[in-house]
Each structure stands twice: as C-alpha cells, then as structure tokens.
Amino acid sequence: MTSSNAPIPFHLEIHSAETIGARTRQEDAYLIHDSPTENHVILTIADGLGGHCDGDIASETAVRESMRALRAGMAQAGMPLKSVSLKVFIQASRALDRIPYHIDYGFRPASTLITAIAYRSGELRLAGIGDSLAWIVRAGEVRELLRPQGFGNHVHHALGYDIGGADGAAVSSASGSMEAGDCLLLATDGLYSLLPEEIVDVLAANPAEPAHALIAAVNEKKEKSQDNCVVIVMTARENKT
C-alpha cells in the first residue's frame, strides 16, 4: 500500500456497535486502530463459529493477533496483498491452536471467520475468510468490496479450522478507495437480517450515530434466530474549506 503526497479532501469518523441478538453470549469481536499521525486505519472483525468450543475466545484472539500482525505489516508498503493477508491469518490461526479442545463440542477446534481492512491515504486493502459484510456505500449505492463465501451448515474454511492450505485458497482479498461522502461498512453476518436498501436508508438517516442506528434496526426486527452482530462504520467527511 503506497501513500500519496496529495492532500486528502476528507477526514474519517469511525463508529461501532454490537448486539448479542437472540444468542446467550457474544461470539463476535472487533478491534479498531486509528492513527491520524500516520494517516492509517486498521479494522478487524471476527465471527466465532457456533457449535465449536470457545467461539468468543476464538474471535477475540483472532482480531487481537491479526491486528498485531497488520500493525507491523503497515510498515512494509507495497507488499502484495495476498501475501500480507495470508501471513496475517496464519499468525492468528496459530494462536487459536493453543486453545484447548472440549469433549462437549466433539473436539471441534475453536474457530472463527475473520475480515481485516487496512486504510491509508484514501486507499483500502481487504482480506477475509467467511461471510462477513464489507461494503462501500457511495451516493446511496452499495458497492460490495469482498464477496462473502457461502457457509450455511457447511463450514469449508474458517480460521483455526482450515485456512485453505499453503496457497491460502480460502482467503478472499480485494482493494478499493474512499472518496468524500463514502461510508465503509464492515459487519458480521447478523446484519443480514436487514435488506441492503434498509441499511442504506438507516445510514442516510443517522449520520451522527450510524453503527448504533444499524444495531437498533436489527434489534427492532426481533427475529427469534437473530445472530450476534458487530458493526463498524467508517465515514469520509468532506473537509470544510
């Protein structure tokens, strides 16, 4: 990721919120690193797998270890995204290996889905394993940054379970950019209880507290099977002249 000397015509506002939904505990986790002096931001979000042991510990461990690796890697500008994402997730996966298995879960390992985003000087780099949502909302239109991998009842790849072999086949990666007025939305799959147009409307109607407004809209649905949900919204506000 390279940095331009051109001034960025906007500043960033970052909001986050979460709900346990209809579950008994929160198994999703997130971390935010915002460094205005270095003009970069790192966002990590993880969705611990239900039915596996310690989903909450898995997601918390994954975001912590991924954040640590990404902060170190930000100094290596220009390194290919695929290499960066795979190294980051392998480091986090090794940390999950240290979580003991439990017989109550059929010895299925602590596992989690994860998405990470690095931002610098208007540019975005993304990598993910799983079905979390990563969007740019620009002028009322949704632009999908990472295509979610289908899971349902069939877990093909998850951090701590299988990251797709040495070539990192399970890791999806992408790049993008932010413009003034954009909203970057990163969320676990609990947000899928809202339709895309509902999400866009909520963001437009609640610029001051977009993340909390999205979680409130999720909770208002009162779905009996509502999953955990974690939301991060990063908005590019145009600088006043």
pLDDT tens digit sequence for 171-180: 788 889 999 9
For residue 152, is it left (φ>0), alpha (ψ between -120 and 50) or beta?
left
Strand partners, 116: 44, 127
> Measuring CA to CA, which residue among 12, 35, 8 is closest to residue 237?
12
Rounded Cα distance between 68 and 71, Å, is 5
5 vs 8, higher pLDDT: 8
User: Quick check: 224 pLDDT over 80?
Assistant: yes
User: Quick check: 167 pLDDT over 50?
Assistant: no
Strand partners, 144: 135
Task: State mean pLDDT over 45-50.
Answer: 85
8 vs 1, higher pLDDT: 8
Tokens, residue 6: 């051109």
CATH architecture of 10-238: 4-Layer Sandwich (3.60)
User: Quick check: 225 pLDDT over 50?
Assistant: yes
The edge-to-edge listing of strands for the beta sheet with 172-177 is 28-35, 40-48, 112-120, 123-129, 172-177
pLDDT tens digit sequence for 90-121: 778 888 777 776 655 555 567 888 899 999 88
pLDDT tens digit sequence for 61-95: 889 989 988 888 776 655 545 556 677 887 788 88
pLDDT tens digit sequence for 119-164: 988 889 898 888 889 999 999 999 999 877 654 433 345 665 555 4
> How many residues are given for the chain?
241
DSSP assignment of 210-229: HHHHHHHHHHHH--TTPPPE
Quick check: helix, strand or coil at residue 63? helix
- Which of 24-38, 125-139, 154-168, 204-218 comes out lowest in average pLDDT? 154-168
- What residue has token string 């906007």? 10
17 vs 83, higher pLDDT: 17
Q: Are 148 and 135 in contact (CB under 8 A)?
A: no
pLDDT at 143: 94
pLDDT at 144: 94
pTM here? 0.87
> For residue 202, which phi and psi values (nearest 5 degrees)?
-65, -45
> Measuring CA to CA, which residue among 47, 48, 21 is closest to residue 223?
21
